Amino acid sequence: MMTTAAVENLMRAEIVRMTPYIPIKPFPVLSAELGIPIHRIVKLDANENPYGPSPLVYQALANLGNTEVPIYPDPGSTELRQKLAEKLGVEMEMVVTGAGADELIEVLFKLFFSPGDVMINCPPTFGMYTFLGQIYGVKEIVIERDANFQIDLDAVEAAVIQHRAKMVILCAPNNPDGLYLTPGTLERLLKLNTIVLLDEAYVAFTKPNLEAEFGTDNSTRLVAQHPNLVVLRTFSKWAGLAGLRVGYGAATPEVAGYMMAIKQPYNINVAAEAAARASLDDLPRLNTNVQKMLAERERMYAELAQCSSLRALPGSQANFILVEVLNQPAAHLKAELAKRGILVRYFAKKGLDNHFRISVGTPEQTNQLVAALKELA
C-alpha cells in the first residue's frame, strides 16, 4: 500500500510547496469561533455589500423551478452576456462571464501561461494573482508599489521588455489601498507587447451613478482599440452577489472566444445567472446602495482621520479604506476588535506592515467600529 508521503511525492512539487490563499470566513463559522450571534457581527473584512442584493434577485431565485434547477445551465450564459453587452456598450462576443472574477483570472492564466512564462505583479495587491501564478508555474516578477501605493511605471515597462512578460496585472482600484491608476498608466502599458489584465472589481465605487461600471467612458469599451487589454469585473461588490459567484469581463472577440471555450462549461449556475440578470434589471436601486456606500466611505475616512493612533490612507475609490496602526501591533488591534464582533482584514504582508483594511459598512456599523477604535486604539 502506498504511504501518504509517497502519494505527496506524485503531486506537482510547486503545489506541495506553495503558500495557500487565506480566504475569509462566512458568518456561521465566525459566529461559532467568536461566540457572538451572527446578527451582532460587524463584518468589515471582505468588501462585501452591506445592503445585499436587489429584491428582484430573491424574486428571481424563488421563481426558479423544474425547468431550471434540474437542468444544466446555458454554457454560453447567453442572456446574461447579452444584457451585459447592452449595458456596457460592447458586442456580446466581447463579454465573458465566470464564477466570480476569480474564475476569470484563472481562465486567463490557463489561456496565456505555460510553466515558466512571466507575469508582472505590483504588490501590495490582491493575493489571487500570486496564488494562481504558483499553481500554473508562472514566473512572477514583482515590481513593488512605492510608499504611496503607486505603480513604478518605468520599472514595470522595463521588466516587461527585459523578461518578455506575457502579462502585466493591474488592479484598479487596487486592493488594499483603493487607489485607481494615475492617468496615462494604462495607455502606456497597452503600447507594450504584453497582455494587460485590468482587474476592475471595485470600479463601480470610483464615480457616482455606476458611471465607471456602465457609462459611456467605461473601460470595457477600450478593448475594441486594444487587443491586448482584458478587463475583469464582478457582481460581488456593487450588486451584492458575492455568495452566488458571478464575475464578467471584456476582451476582443478572439480572446473572449478562447476564454469561453476553455472555462468549465457550466461555470455560471442557474441561480447565479438569474440573480445577475435580475441585478442588471434593477440598476437604479443598486445604484442607491452604492451611493450610500460612497457617502459612508467619506464619513468613515473623516472619523478614522481623527484617530491619532491610526493613519487612514486618503483617496480610496473603492468600498474600503487602508489603515496603518501607529501605536500597537495591527494584529493585536484586529484581535481586540474581533472579540467585540468587529472584523477587519489584516495582512501580514510586505509593504503592509501594521496595516489593516476596513470595508465600508452601514452608518451603524461605522459607528460601532469608531466607538471600539476610540476605546482600543
Tell me the closest approach of the beta carbon of residue 321 to ligand PLP, in angstroms: 14
Kindly state whether residue 172 participates in binding ligand PLP, applying the rule CB under 6 A. no
- Looking at beta carbons only, is 100 or 123 nearer to ligand PLP? 100
Please check whether residue 119 is in contact with residue 169, taking contact to mean a CB–CB distance below 8 angstroms: yes
- Looking at beta carbons only, is 231 or 373 nearer to ligand PLP? 231
Q: Which three cell numbers stand for residue 373?
A: 477604535
Cβ neighbors of 3 (< 8 A, separation 6 or more) are: none
Looking at 45, 102, 106, 213, which residue binds ligand PLP (CB under 6 A)?
A: 102
Tell me the closest approach of the beta carbon of residue 44 to ligand PLP, in angstroms: 13
Amino acid at residue number 62: A
Amino acid at residue number 338: A
The Cα 351–Cα 141 span in angstroms is 16
Kindly state whether residue 48 participates in binding ligand PLP, applying the rule CB under 6 A. no
Q: Which three cell numbers stand for residue 69?
A: 434547477
Tell me the closest approach of the beta carbon of residue 126 to ligand PLP, in angstroms: 4
Pure H helices in the chain: 4-10, 13-16, 27-34, 55-62, 78-88, 100-112, 128-135, 153-163, 185-190, 211-214, 253-262, 270-280, 283-305, 330-339, 363-376
Kindly state whether residue 165 participates in binding ligand PLP, applying the rule CB under 6 A. no
Kindly state whether residue 175 participates in binding ligand PLP, applying the rule CB under 6 A. yes
Amino acid at residue number 168: V
Kindly state whether residue 290 participates in binding ligand PLP, applying the rule CB under 6 A. no
Kindly state whether residue 197 participates in binding ligand PLP, applying the rule CB under 6 A. no
Q: Which three cell numbers stand for residue 155?
A: 520599472
Cis peptide before 124 (omega within 30 of 0): yes
Contact set for ligand PLP, span 115-144 (CB under 6 A) = 126
Tell me the closest approach of the beta carbon of residue 243 to ligand PLP, in angstroms: 9
Looking at 101, 230, 283, 330, which residue binds ligand PLP (CB under 6 A)?
A: 101
Residue nearest to ligand PLP (CB): 100
What mask, x for binding ligand PLP by CB under 6 A, covers residues 215 to 254?
-------------------x-x-----x----x-------
> 280 vs 57, 83, 170, CA distance in Å?
10, 7, 26
Kindly state whether residue 201 participates in binding ligand PLP, applying the rule CB under 6 A. yes
- Residue-by-residue DSSP string for 217-279: T-GGGGGGT-TTEEEEEESSSTT--GGG--EEEE--HHHHHHHHHHS-TT-S-HHHHHHHHHH
Kindly state whether residue 45 participates in binding ligand PLP, applying the rule CB under 6 A. no
Looking at 138, 160, 171, 270, which residue binds ligand PLP (CB under 6 A)?
A: 171
Q: Which residues bind ligand PLP (CB under 6 A)?
A: 47, 100-102, 126, 171, 175, 199, 201, 234, 236, 242, 247
